[in-house]
Structure 1
């Protein structure tokens, strides 16, 4: 008998549903994976939910096991933690991470599944894709010991970058945000904290500035913090939104360098030696850090994901951390048919 899975689909901009679909027969190179948790990458997935992916970037924005296309119907997501139910005997019962959309039962190529280290709990493992992004950002920026580093935007990616940067010897690290409530989180992650409106003491003094706030105001703040010939890494994704920034003042006299960072390619200085699998395995290893549990603030039952995504997409319920989807049984009679 064919197996029936349930998956979250964006049917059209602003409208999602849990849909059922029959899985094809498993081929010998695939694993049958029962999902334990998945994570929501709020910035990117909110853009997808709102229909904000520019059509000319549809190919580069596609996630590895996506179905459908933008603006919808589309099955999108890339942070799934599950347990192997069928496949090679040595893998039965093992926990794996995969860049797969939100779905309760999945057929995934064995090569696309990465084993989760025993020391990393199920829920924390959903951070692997975002940790991979954070690692790539630091590579792109050339972060090193002793630098004065500012990270503008204390969302999930900004916090993960801060946690990694805090491990560099002698680093002077400040997490900058508009929300004073995130000061305690910054200290928990090993960083100093400054409000965006009150960070003048850092002006024109940083060796490396990383921008993660996805706002023009945040990018202007980041430019103001960069010292002479410093590097500014733009790690935000704006989708189809135009962004106005001020490139007057000290920008040209200080010979600032702005570079983009995007996880779809391994950072240039690592690419001759690192592939995607090695980078993702390293991200999973870096999750052996209990301090990161503070970034898992919201848990959503799978059946409630359509409503939760609508709330996240319009800015309601904006925790600093990663919303985590858990997978209790869902009544198939309540699920819509696949689009």
Structure 2
């Protein structure tokens, strides 16, 4: 029985770089081969896009005081531009402890990558690769609910029906037995949410009741949305802020009912385990719980038509100047294309 020929190890990779504000391109770069001990070479299948964050990065608007916290693994250049930046990557390991397995890591958009083994997460075979690109945002949603200390059947709302807001709604409905109300200003997005088939109630801002919710998550990415969230909660109501607004100025009315009704605003950010869970839950345990929630096929409805790596510069140029209506975006690479066509 003949053995298959050894797999060729590439010495050149291609990666997406933001070259100037609002403009990017695919560049070639040299890979460090042979692969160092403790690292694995990945052949990329998919990368995920974080629209809000990557828009700010692509426009050169990351505040100086946030740049250290915002840096991603394997980032190249700097936030002053040019920069190689991205969100998550799924690829097949060519060598190392997970050889021939599909693994997940945080990494910029790149067709081949050399990644420390400790940063790799082997993915269960029963989770479709496209759905797995939701993992970071789903973990963000889970952490936000933990921060809120929500208990059903308290009335709960979500301002902003983007990907994080909808994943919060998904978890509240399926794991907390809640009936969240989505408040969304964009009529196209409201239609898309209704077509998900999740049985969510979606309201435009003018229809949203005021002072009736115990809890509201703000996920619109707009300062005006935070005011809507504050107005929606009643006595001792809590607003969980999951949007990152960078240097966007926000004007809030903290007169009126805010003070005497003892309303609260709490920021939730995924890099730190939510305080109510922090003492007894590790990052690994939170990740394992997130993977369990990823088993649901309901999540597949959130994934927009795929973007090829070759067309990524054009897509990103549009993203930098316009908020997309769709929810979750994945970039596909040639090794995944045959599997995409079979789906």
Which residue in 1 is equivalent to 2:5?
none
Which residue in 2 is equivalent to 1:38?
47
2:290 maps to 1:283: yes
Which residue in 2 is equivalent to 1:19?
27
Looking at structure 1, the residues matched to 265 and 215 of structure 2 have their Cα atoms a distance apart, in angstroms, of: 10
Looking at structure 2, the residues matched to 92 and 85 of structure 1 have their Cα atoms a distance apart, in angstroms, of: 5
2:191 maps to 1:189: no
Give the deviation of 1:50 after TM superposition.
Answer: 0.7
* Structure 1 unmatched ranges of 5 or more: 330-339
SS of corresponding position for 1:252:
helix
Give the deviation of 1:242 after TM superposition.
Answer: 0.9
Q: Conserved in 1, the CA contact under 8 Å of 2:75 and 2:83?
A: yes
1:107 equivalent among 114, 120, 124:
114
* Structure 2 unmatched ranges of 5 or more: 1-8, 336-343
Give the deviation of 1:56 after TM superposition.
Answer: 1.6
2:16 equivalent among 8, 15, 36:
8
2:238 maps to 1:234: no
Looking at structure 2, the residues matched to 176 and 124 of structure 1 have their Cα atoms a distance apart, in angstroms, of: 25
2:155 maps to 1:155: no
Looking at structure 1, the residues matched to 155 and 73 of structure 2 have their Cα atoms a distance apart, in angstroms, of: 36
Give the deviation of 1:109 after TM superposition.
Answer: 1.1
Looking at structure 2, the residues matched to 286 and 242 of structure 1 have their Cα atoms a distance apart, in angstroms, of: 35
Q: Higher relative contact order by CA 8 Å / sep ≥ 6: 1 or 2?
A: 1
Size of the aligned set, in residue pairs, is: 324
Looking at structure 1, the residues matched to 251 and 40 of structure 2 have their Cα atoms a distance apart, in angstroms, of: 46
Q: CA RMSD in A?
A: 1.7
Which residue in 1 is equivalent to 2:65?
56
Which residue in 2 is equivalent to 1:328?
334
Looking at structure 1, the residues matched to 88 and 244 of structure 2 have their Cα atoms a distance apart, in angstroms, of: 18
2:92 maps to 1:83: yes
Which residue in 2 is equivalent to 1:214?
221
SS of corresponding position for 2:299:
helix
Q: Conserved in 2, the CA contact under 8 Å of 1:214 and 1:238?
A: yes
Structure 2 vs 1, CA of residues 168 and 183 (structure 1 numbering), >3 Å: closer, same or farther?
farther
Deviates more, 1:36-45 or 1:268-277: 268-277
TM-score, normalised via structure 2 length: 0.90
